[in-house]
């Protein structure tokens, strides 16, 4: 499930995250010693590996785990209802084949089963849409977090452009580049540090409110 969700997400993330930044003011986690140092110079065009970020970004893994739990629950309920309907249809057909009910009763039960089939198809379609929405929201949250961090990060680094690349056999769009332009480690360290910090902030605020009361 995790792998399939990542594959669905990659194309959209590439379009959302590519950043060309010109900000001159912002605070970055690097100033606090929370990220590694990149050898790339100001004004350079740098890149990071999106596959690695999706695999190693703690926020992405946490959100993906939550949505996968929801998706599994939805799919189990859809399967349960679908299996029940199949069994009822099979039992009905068996009675028809054995001549165990009158035609009038069979017509009533057949109409009922047809309605149940239609209702189930509607229900299953709605749940598939719900799954797609859950995945899209999670994707948007991950992409927004990465893009927001990159904007702050580049306010200090002042690179001309930050690209995303993906793939192992022939990465695209960056097939070959100077390794010093690869800022993946730097980005991952900063993202995870920022995520850890963000998780601790609500607890601190809640504690402060309690103490005030």
Q: Which residue has the higher pLDDT, 141 or 1?
A: 141
Neighbouring-strand partners of residue 47: 163, 182
Q: How far is CA 51 from the centre of its chain?
A: 13
* Per-residue model confidence as pLDDT tens digits over 60-77: 999 999 999 999 999 999
User: What integer is the mean pLDDT of 101-127?
Assistant: 96
CB 157 within 8 A of CB 38: yes
Alpha-carbon distance of 42 to 63, in angstroms, equals 33
DSSP-assigned states of every residue in 124-158: HHHHHHHHHHHHHHHHHHHHHHHHHHHHHHHHHH-
Cα dist from 162 to 10, 48, 117, 174, 179, whole Å: 17, 8, 51, 11, 14
Output the six-digit token pair for 158. Answer: 């002042």
Q: Which residues pair with residue 162 across a beta bridge? A: 19, 46
The rounded distance, in Å, linking the Cα atoms of 183 and 39 is 9
Q: What is the pLDDT of residues 147-173, one digit of tens each?
A: 999 999 999 999 999 999 999 889 999
CB neighbours of residue 45 within 10 Å = 14
Q: 42 phi and psi, to 5 degrees?
A: -55, 140
pLDDT in tens, 144-153: 999 999 999 9
Spatial distance between the Cα atoms of 178 and 162, rounded to a whole number of angstroms: 14
Residues 11-59 pLDDT 10s:
455 554 555 444 433 334 333 444 456 678 888 899 999 999 999 999 9
User: Would you list the domain boundaries of the chain?
Assistant: 15-201
Q: What is the predicted pLDDT for the residue at 179?
A: 92
Neighbour-count burial of 70, counting CB atoms closer than 10 A to its CB (0-12 exposed, 13-18 middle, 19+ buried): middle
Average pLDDT, the chain: 83
pLDDT at 70: 94
pTM recorded for the entire structure: 0.72
DSSP 57: -
Percent of the chain with pLDDT over 90: 70
């Amino acid at each position: 499930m995790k792998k399939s969700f990542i594959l669905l997400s990659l194309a959209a993330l590439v379009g959302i995250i590519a950043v060309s930044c010109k900000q001159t003011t912002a605070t970055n986690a690097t100033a606090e010693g929370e990220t590694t140092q990149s050898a790339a110079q100001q004004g350079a065009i740098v890149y990071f590996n999106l596959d690695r970020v999706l695999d190693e970004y703690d926020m992405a893994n946490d959100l993906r785990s939550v949505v996968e739990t929801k998706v599994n629950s939805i799919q189990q309920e859809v399967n349960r209802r679908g299996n029940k309907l199949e069994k009822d249809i099979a039992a009905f057909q068996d009675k028809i084949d054995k001549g165990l009910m009158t035609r009038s009763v069979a017509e009533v039960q057949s109409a009922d089963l047809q309605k149940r089939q239609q209702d189930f198809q509607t229900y299953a379609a709605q749940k598939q849409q719900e799954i797609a929405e859950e995945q899209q929201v999670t994707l948007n949250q991950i992409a927004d977090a990465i893009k927001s961090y990159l904007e702050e990060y580049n306010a200090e680094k002042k690179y001309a452009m930050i690209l995303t690349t993906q793939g192992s056999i022939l990465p695209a769009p960056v097939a070959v580049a100077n390794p010093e332009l690869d800022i993946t480690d730097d980005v991952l360290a900063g993202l995870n540090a920022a995520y850890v910090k963000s998780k601790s902030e609500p607890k601190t605020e809640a504690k402060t409110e309690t103490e005030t009361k």
